[in-house]
């Protein structure tokens, strides 16, 4: 790889640290929902998708089964597959390197890569790899810090950490609601999830909101 340009490096580093530091919230929330420090760290190492990870601990922490948690996380992770289709012609990687690229194909690595387009194809590739690995390193380090900190506190709910998962989801979703259609969908999903919660198993309300999103999308196309 050629010498990385300073603007690309600065963009990647700032995004990597800012997003990675959010891993503290995940580590603390995971422990608050009954996961061990080791389990919390393995989720970050192997899943490496913030929204999906918060979904897993939220569903299982609320009493849902592993299948419900995995289903919810998988639905949220579909967008990563779409990012992969978008990035494939840019990265042009094969073999083991392709598997590595797939693991760090997230919102941030894709976003930084595409933002480097005016600087050329090489800058786009550098932005992807630097940001992907940067977020991965910081996210996992801060997950460990958050999990250890929550464990040291004793009862996480006494410190309000049991509210970390819904707060984190709100923080993830709110900036992405950029128009009236998306806001309407978010409100409808919230109402549906709250209405179903007393009557169905944990995890089902979240899965039902995915079906609601499909219905909204279908109506918007027709």
Residue where a domain terminates, one of 133, 151, 169: 169
Residue 163 and residue 181 in one domain: no
Cβ contact 164:146 at 8 Å: no
Domain assignment present for 44? yes
Q: Which of 119, 129, 141 is nearest to 26 (CA)?
A: 141
Instruction: Write the pLDDT tens digit of every residue in 139-192.
Output: 999 999 999 988 887 766 666 655 555 665 566 567 667 788 888 888 888 899
Sign for the CA dihedral angle at 76, 199, 191, 157 comes to negative
Range of the domain at 80: 6-169
Residue 131 and residue 217 in one domain: no
Domain assignment present for 132? yes
Torsion, Cα of 7, 137, 76, 192 (10° steps) = -100
Q: How many domains does the chain have?
A: 2
Residue where a domain terminates, one of 153, 169, 185: 169
Cβ contact 56:73 at 8 Å: yes
Residue 115 and residue 12 in one domain: yes
Residue 80 and residue 190 in one domain: no
Query: Per-residue pLDDT averaged across 13-36, rounded?
Result: 88
Query: When comparing pLDDT for 91 and 173, which is higher?
Result: 91
Residue 147 and residue 212 in one domain: no
Residue 213 and residue 159 in one domain: no
pLDDT at 55 over 90: no
Domain assignment present for 1? no
Quote the mean pLDDT of the chain: 84
């Amino acid at each position: 790889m050629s010498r990385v340009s300073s603007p690309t490096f600065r963009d990647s580093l700032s995004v990597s640290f800012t997003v990675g530091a959010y891993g503290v919230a995940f580590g603390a929330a995971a422990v608050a929902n009954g996961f061990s420090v080791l389990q919390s760290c393995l989720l970050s190492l192997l899943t490496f998708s913030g929204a999906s990870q918060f979904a897993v601990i939220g569903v299982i922490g609320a009493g849902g089964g592993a299948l419900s948690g995995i289903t919810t996380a998988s639905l949220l992770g579909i967008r990563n597959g779409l990012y992969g289709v978008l990035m494939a012609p840019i990265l042009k990687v094969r073999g083991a390197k392709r598997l590595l690229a797939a693991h760090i194909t997230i919102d941030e690595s894709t976003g930084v890569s595409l933002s480097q387009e005016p600087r050329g194809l090489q800058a786009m590739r550098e932005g992807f790899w630097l940001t992907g690995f940067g977020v991965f390193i910081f996210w996992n380090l801060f997950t460990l810090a958050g999990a250890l900190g929550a464990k040291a506190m004793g009862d996480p709910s006494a410190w309000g950490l049991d509210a970390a998962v819904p707060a984190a989801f709100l923080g993830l979703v709110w900036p992405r609601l950029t128009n009236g259609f998306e806001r309407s969908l978010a409100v409808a999903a919230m109402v549906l999830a709250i209405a179903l919660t007393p009557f169905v198993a944990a995890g089902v309300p979240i899965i039902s909101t995915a079906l609601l999103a499909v219905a909204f999308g279908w109506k918007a196309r027709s």
